[in-house]
Amino acid sequence: MFPGINPKQMQAVMKQMGMSQTEIPASKVIIENEDGTKLIINNPSVTKIKMQGQESFQITGDVSEENGFSEDDVKVIMEKTNCSKKDAEKALEETGDLADAIMKLSE
């Protein structure tokens, strides 16, 4: 973090300032956005930092984005292909696209 300061000294200084840092073992972090999309962080390094009563998280890793699907998308597929809700959801997950899901189930 700071050149020339060993990690133990840094922890002591942080403790004096009321800061603590904890590593959190995680295999995946998922952040769900308001618009239904998801940020997926694989192989994450997660650190919880507590300072002055506030907790914050630092996350690094391999980031990918996943589009969410609405119930309306599922209903459209069910109406167009006469399939079950489960089949419609599976097709959406596999294809990632409404039109492709309909085509897949229409074959």
91-107 pLDDT, tens per residue? Answer: 988 888 889 999 999 88
For 43, 86, 103, the CA distances from 76, given in Å and listed in that order, are: 35, 13, 12
What local confidence, expressed as pLDDT, does residue 67 receive? 79
Domain-located, residue 10: no
- Is residue 61 located within the same domain as residue 86? no
20-59 pLDDT, tens per residue? Answer: 889 999 999 999 888 777 899 999 999 999 988 899 999 9
Give the residue from 30, 35, 44, 45 showing the smallest Cα distance to 67: 35
- Domain total in the chain: 2
What local confidence, expressed as pLDDT, does residue 47 receive? 94
Which domain CATH number covers 78? 1.10.8
- Is residue 62 located within the same domain as residue 25? yes
